[in-house]
Amino acid sequence: MKVLGIAGSTRRGSWNSKLLDSAAELLPAGTELETWDGLKEIPPYDEEDDVQPAPAAVEQLRAAIAAADAILFATPEYNSSIPGVLKNAVDWASRPLATNPLRNKPVAVVGASTSAFGAVWAQAELRKVLAATGARVVEGEVAVGHAPKRFDTDGRLSDAELREQLAEVVDLLVQEAQPQQVLTAA
């Protein structure tokens, strides 16, 4: 099973990228996390540019989402909301609405910020936006507040409680992505 990790930050040293790396360590055997690093190349959304083929970076994003069994987003919070670059990428991924690659895709959202609250508002808004695209949004939240204090010098999430919460969210996401068993009457 393949989980695609999308961080809502393009910053080298991003806490949210580190959060995805920590999630990768918590995945069950047989599951891998591949991080998508094309966020900075995604152009501003313009319906006139949303034609076939779409801009190369957008095609690559849509293909990466389509090829994944599940998506784990790690978002910072900018001015109490989703960073514009991440919202822009989700807008591109959401079209065409009826057949977009997020439709029916299991997704989970976690987040880290330098303030006390761990990007809870950005996470809530991102869940709302993802639900609007037709994604299957898994419940569960990891809010890494005061991020610089929550990772060790190797960049691993070091707070035991937060690691446990992250493991739970990852578990729920992987469960949601398991092929559904069809029960047949005996």
Ligand X SMILES: Cc1cc2nc3c(=O)[nH]c(=O)nc-3n(C[C@H](O)[C@H](O)[C@H](O)COP(=O)(O)O)c2cc1C
Binding site for ligand X (CB under 6 A): 9, 11, 14-16, 76-80, 112-115, 117, 119, 147
Question: Which tokens hold the place of 16?
Answer: 């949210």
- Our CB check for ligand X shows the closer of 61 and 147 to be 147
Minimum CB separation of residue 82 from ligand X in Å reads 10
DSSP classification of residue 26: T
Q: Which residues contact 28 (CB under 8 A, 6 or more apart)?
A: 171, 174
To the nearest 10 degrees (0 to 180), the angle between helices 15-25 and 160-177 is 70
CB 24 within 8 A of CB 18: no
- Our CB check for ligand X shows the closer of 126 and 174 to be 126
CB 138 within 8 A of CB 176: yes
Minimum CB separation of residue 185 from ligand X in Å reads 50
Minimum CB separation of residue 29 from ligand X in Å reads 28
Minimum CB separation of residue 125 from ligand X in Å reads 11
Q: Given the structure tokens 């949004």, which residue do they identify?
A: 137
- Our CB check for ligand X shows the closer of 31 and 114 to be 114
- Our CB check for ligand X shows the closer of 169 and 177 to be 169
- Our CB check for ligand X shows the closer of 5 and 101 to be 5
How far is residue 89's CA from residue 45's CA, in Å, rounded to a whole number? 8
Question: Which tokens hold the place of 45?
Answer: 């959304």
Q: Given the structure tokens 């009826």, which residue do they identify?
A: 98
- Our CB check for ligand X shows the closer of 11 and 149 to be 11
Minimum CB separation of residue 117 from ligand X in Å reads 5
CB 10 within 8 A of CB 37: no
Minimum CB separation of residue 13 from ligand X in Å reads 7
Q: Given the structure tokens 């960073």, which residue do they identify?
A: 83
